[in-house]
Amino acid sequence: MEQGNNRDIILSCRHISKAFGGTQALDDVQFDIARGEVHALLGENGAGKSTLMKIIIGLFKADKGSITFDGEPYLAKDPADAIRKGISMIHQELNPEYHLTIAENIFLKREDVRGKVFLDKKSTNLKAQQILDELGVKLNAKRMIEGLTLAQCQMIEIIKAVSFDAKLIIMDEPTSSLDSEETEALFNMIRRLKSQGVSIVYISHRMDEIFQICDRVTVLRDGRYVGSEEIGNVDREKLISMMVGRTVKNIFPKTECAIGETVLKVENLTGKGFSDISFEVRAGEIVGISGLVGSGRSETMRALIGLDPLTSGKVYLSGKEVRIRSVRHALRLGICMVNEDRKNFGLVLHRSIRENISLPNLRERHRKGLINKRREVRETAEAAQTLTVKAASLELDAYSLSGGNQQKVVLAKWLMSKPKVLILDEPTRGVDVGAKSEIHSLMGRFASEGMAIVMISSELPEIMGISDRILIYREGRLNGEVMRQDILSGKENQETVLAREF
């Protein structure tokens, strides 16, 4: 498998497997990194990249497999242990101590002390300044973190790793919120580290960057190892085909149904994380929205239904312009959204299934503020039955249900409100296979009843199997549209769709 036979391997993962409940997140994966190499890790959403990294830094325990690091068997108990052993990870979301100085942040919990009690600020500052200077970062070590840019905070994080004598630094989407100048500074830092023999795992969706900075690339797909290549031996198309594979099966049968009038139309929607989004959805139509996590898909929908603010843009419902002020307003207009984060935005976990289903629907069903319990019990039971929620009683906490059943409860609650437009964000995430296909056929049924459906999904086969039309997001903008006929005719496939996302 390894072409470079005289490479000095620093980290070697062998036969790593990890399952979460029923889903196999990693299946017999291997991963090798040489000393002083920048190694890209590539794969679609959910390919297993973060799971693998979390195993390496000790956040998860692998079910199977072994890791050798720097010639020794390696097993990190937790991230702190990994850092001690020489592996640090720079997370996408940084959490520095904002009210401490740069030096204090770098040497947190290992400050120099005098007489075992008193902090020796002078020597800590001196040491921190030394590393800063060494790596060419023009910052004063005595400065507070508060007020630094994200890029600077990231640098501090990297410097912290270096101060631990890290031999391997994992960077998760390090450039996702950097501008081009900051990215260049980061690349300079990476080159400097590389020349000092530090290895880097570089996780990114940005192909250009991978070709620019990385030496080798490893591709994962559906939790499996696809292959590793010298960066010089591959091109964009090759990498995309490695990520997708060639197994397109129509495993999500779609109910064909008549498509009616335009129900929802949006023009030039702009907000945090997305800009200039225009599309329309017709009655009976399922519009799929594809794109990488963080490409602005969910952000657009959240703003559309009034959960987040919208900077500009117009929304038309059945031809009439509407200004949606709040979720309540959207609901009254007949637009609702199944949030991807069902624990935080979908359910009140410690209330009963009945109360969860009826929560958004009581407004139309009360008399002078009083709830008709009997009617509520009957109607929520009907909704739960339609969605085949499996529960001993509707009086049980939503908490007690499995992921798939929780999702069905969320769907039941919105279905009961009989919306004109139903927006689904990752409706089948964390749902077992059986419940998944049930949810798909239900979506088909709602569409055939004239509902306009928008579905966001990270799973290409799912979105390609069920959508009449697919909108593709790339870095906050729409980057193309794919019609169902083109998929059926073979003109478009997973590769062509994915290529537009990168």
User: Which of 87, 239, 310, 394 is the binder for other proteins (CB under 8 A)?
Assistant: 394
Q: Which residue from 29, 52, 158, 330 is in contact with other proteins, where contact means CB under 8 A?
A: 330
Q: Is 369 in the site for other proteins (CB under 8 A)?
A: yes
User: The tokens of 15 are what?
Assistant: 């036969």
Tell me the HSE value of 218 on the side-chain side, using a 13 A CA sphere. Answer: 27
Q: How far is the CB of 439 from other proteins (least distance, A)?
A: 17
Q: Does 303 bind other proteins (CB under 8 A)?
A: no
* Most distant CA atoms of the chain, gap in Å: 80
> Which of these ranges, 30-38, 55-63, 331-339, 484-492, lies near other proteins under the rule CB under 8 A?
331-339
Binding other proteins by CB under 8 A: which of 60, 187, 211, 345?
Answer: 345
420 makes contact with other proteins (CB under 8 A):
no
Q: List b or e across 267-303, with b for residues whose CB sees 16 or more CB atoms inside 10 angstroms.
A: eebbbebbbebebebbbbbbbbbbbbebbbbbbbbbb
Query: 470 near 498, Cβ under 8 Å?
Result: no
Closest CA to 44 of 229, 220, 252: 220
**Exposure string for 389-417, b = 16+ CB within 10 A, e = fewer:** bebeebeebbeebebbbbbbbbbbbbbbb
What is the nearest approach in angstroms of other proteins to the Cβ of residue 386? 10
Instruction: Tell me which of 175, 358, 407, 494 binds other proteins, using CB under 8 A.
Output: 358
Task: Out of 57, 337, 452, 456, name the contact with other proteins by CB under 8 A.
Answer: 337
Q: Which stretch binds other proteins (CB under 8 A): 12-20, 30-38, 125-133, 372-380?
A: 372-380
The one segment of 100-108, 182-190, 315-323, 370-378 that binds other proteins by CB under 8 A: 370-378
Among 148, 207, 327, 483, binds other proteins (CB under 8 A): 327
Tokens standing for 41?
Answer: 């890790």
20 three-class SS = strand
> Which region among 39-47, 127-135, 228-236, 373-381 touches other proteins (by CB under 8 A)?
373-381
The residue whose two tokens read 């949606």 is 324
Element at 19 (helix H, strand E): strand 9-20
Candidate ranges 113-121, 174-182, 364-372, 465-473; the one touching other proteins (CB under 8 A): 364-372
Stretch binding other proteins (CB under 8 A), from 5-13, 204-212, 329-337, 447-455: 329-337
Q: Which is nearer to other proteins, 296 or 334 (CB)?
A: 334
- Report yes or no: 349 and 403 within 8 Å, Cβ to Cβ: no
User: Could you give the CA distance from residue 256 to residue 447 in angstroms, rounded to a whole number?
Assistant: 9
In the complex, minimum distance from the CB of residue 331 to other proteins, in angstroms, rounded to a whole number: 4
Give the per-residue SS3 of 302-328: HHHCCCCCCCEEEEEECCEEECCCCHH
Minimum CB separation of residue 35 from other proteins in Å reads 45
Query: Of 100, 135, 153, 307, which lies in the binding site for other proteins, with binding defined by CB under 8 A?
Result: 307
With 0-12 / 13-18 / 19 or more C-beta atoms within 10 angstroms meaning exposed / middle / buried, residue 344 is exposed
Rg (CA), the chain: 25
Q: Which residues bind other proteins (CB under 8 A)?
A: 307, 326-328, 330-332, 337, 339, 344-351, 354-355, 358-360, 362-363, 366, 369-371, 373, 377-378, 380-381, 384-385, 388-396, 400, 413
